[in-house]
Amino acid sequence: MSGLAALLVALLLAVNLGISWWNARVVGLDWVEARFIGGWVRFMWWMGWLMSALGFTWCYVLILAFVAQGAGLIGARELEATLSLGYLVVIPGMLFSGLFIWIDSVVVAWRRRDLPSMATASWNTFAELHNAYSAISGVGAALKSVGNLFGDGDEDEAKIGAIIIVVLIVVAALAGGFITTELIRRHYAASRPLPARAAAQAA
């Protein structure tokens, strides 16, 4: 990987980590209130939680995969398969949660008709369309890459070891993403006073 490419990857990684942290923080700040309100509000906060967890997961897949390649544990083919497997794990949940987040933001923008809500709806529209386009154009190649690693008929120890490492990287990234989001959510949960109505319900 060239220096410029590495810099771009690092920049995108930092942005994705920041967005995932922000999503987890926002969810945590309103978690208690959403719990007592229930219904759609609580469902949307779970969608935000899921989006954050999957965002962290994808970042961890990238980090662990490149670290493993740098350490000589996997080669270029296994690196591609790792990123493809991580993508296949992450994209369904991102599309699902992103769809409801987009719907909610459009409804809020329609009701409020102010600049912040319209900007949020616009960003969510772009993000959901980008994810959908990425899924349409990328899932086939990702499936092929994973299939080539798992199904080429070569059963030597090196191949089996590489498959185990690929699977472990994705599982570890998934666990790390969910744990990170939950820790951030718990840190910010109940960190600000509830509105009077929610506080009365809690009492």
pLDDT one-digit tens code per residue, 40-67 = 888 999 999 999 999 999 999 999 999 9
Residue 82 pLDDT: 94
| pLDDT greater than 70 at residue 5 | no
| Selection from 19, 27, 51 nearest residue 131 by Cα | 51
**Rounded distance between C-alpha atoms, residue 158 and residue 120, angstroms:** 48
**Rounded distance between C-alpha atoms, residue 100 and residue 127, angstroms:** 12
Q: Is 38 helix (H, G, I), strand (E, B) or coil?
A: coil
| Selection from 69, 47, 85, 97 nearest residue 173 by Cα | 85
- Written as six digits, the tokens of 123 are 């960003």
pTM for the structure as a whole: 0.84
Calculate what percentage of the chain has a pLDDT beyond 90: 46
Residue 194 pLDDT: 55
| pLDDT greater than 60 at residue 112 | yes
Contacts of 57 by beta carbon, 8 Å cutoff, 6+ apart: 86, 89, 90, 173, 174, 176, 177, 178
Indicate left, alpha or beta for 113 from its phi (over 0: left) and psi (-120 to 50: alpha).
Answer: left
Residue 190 pLDDT: 65
**Rounded distance between C-alpha atoms, residue 131 and residue 126, angstroms:** 9
- Angle among Cα 192, 196, 202 to the nearest 5 degrees reads 80
User: What average pLDDT does this structure show over 196-201?
Assistant: 49
